[in-house]
Structure formats: structure tokens, C-alpha cells
Structure 1
Amino acid sequence: MPTEPPTPAGPAPGTGRPYVSFAEPETDNGFDTFDSFDTYDPLDQATTRLRTVPARARTRPRLVAAAACLVLGLGLIGGAVTGSWLTGDSAGADGALSSFEAAGGLWHSVPVDQLFPRTVDGQGAGPGGADRTWTRIAVAPDSGCANAFDPLLRQVLAPVGCLRLLRATYTDVTRSQVTTVGLLFTNADAAAMTSLRARFQQQGLDRRTDLMPRPYAVKGTVAAGFGDAQRASWTVSVLTDAPVVVYAVSGFADGRVVTAPQPAADAVKPGVTTAPAQAGLGNDAQGLADRVERSLRRTVGSASEKPS
């Protein structure tokens, strides 16, 4: 720590020699910008001066030095806490995980009935605001992403990776329509998920028929004939507050081939007369995906809450 030469002073009254002590350091405790965070060290800018004081004031320097140490200590602690906050440190004093990290581990810690309820109520989710109810008929074993997406969609999703894929297939009350809902848990951080979402939005990737997710068909159920050719409507949603891609794809349960599939965002618009729109298959895909996503967010909120 740099010091200035002592200032000459005569002996204090009643003493034969001067007493030397530390004055209070001069510090600047401000940040110019929050664009980048550098740990602030008051010692870098502190300037300490020596001075002489009368012997009768010997106790004051000790108090000043102690106060200075306390201020410096609090400053360093405060800087560490501020740094943790600004950099998004996921673990606080109680070790609570951030919601983003908490979401990444839900695939192995949450019961399947919580992620994919046995029955999903879609109040107002059907065409014209009609109510919908979907019943789960099959749950796929958790797996990787092989054969779950069309080849080009698999390439688009490759930058965020595939940690685990969870899928379930539902049918409507008439058992004439089927929908597969999927939760792709990725290996990506928030920046990568944000980048992927921006790409989907800017390039309209969620509307391309060569970028559709594939259904999960199960023998012995009404979804036994639900293959790639039966896909009628779909939706893909890239989350940015969780390392998850939510998707749904719907079709007819009778195995009919659909030659003109339509993205759910278009099929749910009023006045659309395509087969997927009139059958409400866009509503099935969009409605189920939305409700599974909401359930996931509620689960994330509960998993990331700090202990009381």
C-alpha cells in the first residue's frame, strides 16, 4: 500500500517525541457500468497517509484502524455477494438451485403422472372455444432422441443436445384423434436455448413440414396406426427459462394418411377450413403442449423454491 512521507511536526505539548498513526483511507466505491463485472478491491485505490498526533490521542488511531478493517471486510463480503448475484450464481447461502438448473433434472426426479397427467382438461381449448378433455393411453420409456424427429429437425436441435426424451400419447373423448406430447431435456445452457428459440422464430422453423416431430404409436391402443404419414398438425416450443423443448403432434386414430399437415399455430385460427383445422387437430396439439408446459413450469417452481 503506497504511503506519503510523514509530515514534519513538532513535539506535542507534554511529550518529547511525536506519535505516528494511520489516517482513514480514501476509497471510491462506485461501478461505472454493469456491462461487465470486476470484483472491486478497495485496496487498489486506498491511499494511506502518515501523520503525527499528540501522545494523548493514542487511542484514536487504533479505533480508526479497526474501523477501516471493518469497512474493508464488509466491502469484500458485499462485493462477493454482489458478484454472485450479477453473475447469476445458482447456489445461494442455502444451496438452492436456480429454476433453470432445477428444470434440467426433472426428467429423473418427478413422477410421470406429474409431467404427463392421466387426464388433461382443456377448458376452452377446442375449436370455437369448446372444451376438450384428453386421456393418456401410453407413456414411452425415457430414452434418447433417436428416431423421434424428422432428420432435418434433428439437425436443427443438435446444438442443444439431447439429455433425455420423455413422451406420452393421448386421445380425445371420442377416441378418434390421437396426440403425442414430448419433453426434450437438452444439455444446453440458457444462452444456447435463447439462440435456438430465436432461430425458430426468425426462420419459421416451427411451420415447416420437413421439421416435424414424430408420434409415439403403441400396439393395442387407438394410437397403434399413428405413424409419420398420419401426422396432421404439430407445434414445437423452445423454452428459454428451462433446458427443455416442448412439442406435440396430432393425427386421426383411424390411420388415414394426411397429405397436407398444418402447423397448429395456423390450424387454430378462426375461419380456417383445412382438414386438420376443422377436426380440431391443431387445437389438440396446441392445447396439450400448452398444458404440459404449464405443468412443467409449476413443477420447476416447486423444485427451485428455497427451503423455509
Structure 2
Amino acid sequence: MLHLLAMAAWLGGLIALAASLFRPPAGRAVPASAVTRFSRLAFTAVVLLVATGLYQAWRQVGSLEALSTTEYGRTLNLKAAVVALALTAAWFSRLWTAQLTREQPQEARSAAPPARVTQAVGVGTSSSSAPGHGAPGTQPPREEADASVPSTSDRGRRGLRRTVAVEAVLGVAVLAITTLLTGTQPSRAEVQNTAAVAAAQEPTARVVNVPFDTGIPNGNGRVQITFAPGRVGDNTVQALLYGADEGVIAVPELRLTLTQQAQKIGPLDAKLVDRGGYWASDRLRLPLPGTWTLNVTVRLTDVDQVTVTKNVTVRETPA
């Protein structure tokens, strides 16, 4: 609400001031005191605009990176550039206003009518002298200043008219860009939606195939291990064994442990249980993301078994 009120006071006042400077009402110049009062009001409005605008930008953008990677952020950059130009024009307007305020009292004093001087007519003066000629020895009146030479006040008003007009046009441009921003999805929401879509497109499970070979006839195959969801936290594990002919086989024992060498965590036992055709665990907690090493032990007979290893990447849980 403060942002809207400050914008209305600043831009509405600028347009009214520009109209009064270009077309003064009833031919009377706008008093310097009125311009000074609006200058103070405009300064307060601009301070409110900048403060509330920065706060709103922080709420809607969320990060510096989003300023260049989202449509809202790029539009906000354009608005900030136009606002900077408007503030530059406003600074020049304040300079012209200050100059106009200083020179107004001086010109008011210089414009005061001169005091009437009564001159006595002495003996010997001719009453039939031509108009405009005084008595002998008297100085003729000085001619008035050339009206074609603009006064300092006029130059100040022309400069103020130009800067106020530029400031008003830039203010309208800021208002137009703000209208575009209101119809654009904020950067914070766009980033969250993008992350949610990316997470939804990711597979909900991580499947790892671990080949093995015990060295006996038909003693080779692979173990297909499925981690769901394959992220940090609690996971379910299912393991299915395929023989050399790619047919599902049953084994008397299957063990699975996980180790993270970088953090020196593990081995964590998955505690797989034979579910009649496949092996599974209802809960395996993985505390950290990163690369984990799987250690899979497959026993085909009482004396034939093999332990194989393979790395798997565990993803971070999305916020």
C-alpha cells in the first residue's frame, strides 16, 4: 500500500507540475514555493518507493541468480534501470528547483518600482521643452533592459520544465513495466515450480544391475537391485536374480551392504529377506547423498559364493 501511494503522489504530482510549467494557469508562473513544497513531497515518496520496492523484490525474486535466469528477474532489471534514469532526472530537477528558490527573492526585489523623484523646475527652464528632455545638466533616464534577454529565473524554469518532463515520461515507463511485472510469475515461484517439475520427471526409483560369476558352470548372472525412492532417507530395497539364460533364479543366500568411503560410513546391512522368488527389505536408511559402494554376496551352493561391488549415486531429498 505504501508503494502504491508513494507512486501515485510522485507520478501524479510530476504530471500536474509538468502541465503547470508548460501551460501556466491564467498566464501566471508557478510560484517557486509551490515547486519547493512538491520537491520535498516527491523526495519522501521516492524514498518510500525505493525502500518498499527493494523489499518487494527480495520477496518475489529470492536470489541473485534468479535476476538473470527468470523472466520476472530480467523484467525487474529493466525496471530498475528505468528507475535509475528517473532518479537521475529527479536529481537535476532538484538542482533547478534550488536555483529557482534562491533567485526568486532577488528578482522580486529587483522588480520593485523605483522611488519617484520630484525635480524642482528652476528659473530659466523652458516649459516648452520637448517631451523626454529634462533641464540642462540633468541625465536622461536609462533605457529598460532588453526584454529579449531571458532572466536567470526564466532559464531556471525552462531547465526545470525539461527535467520534470523527462522525469514524468520515465515515471510512466516505470508504471508500464510494473504492469508487466504484475502479470509475470515471480521468480521465487518459478524456481520452485521448475524444481517440482524436475523432481516429478526424475525416476521414482534407482535400479542397479550387478553382474556376478562364481566360476562354476551356469554360475554367472546378475542381480537387479531396486532402491525406492533412491534418495537420502528411508528406502525400500528389492533384489531379483537372473541366471545365465536371463531367467529368474532362486539362491539360498543373498546379502547386501552399503559403504560410503568419503565419509567413512558403513557398511550398512540392508538385511534382505527371501520373499519367495525375490529378496527385499522394507527399510534401509541412507543418511547422506553421494556415491555409495554396494557389496553384494551371492551364494549358489553350500560352497560356491562370490562377493561383487558396484557404485551407486544417492540423490538429495528435494526440499
TM-score (norm 1): 0.32
Q: Which has the larger radius of gyration?
A: 2
Q: Give the number of the structure whose residues are more often helix, by fraction.
A: 2
TM-score (norm 2): 0.31
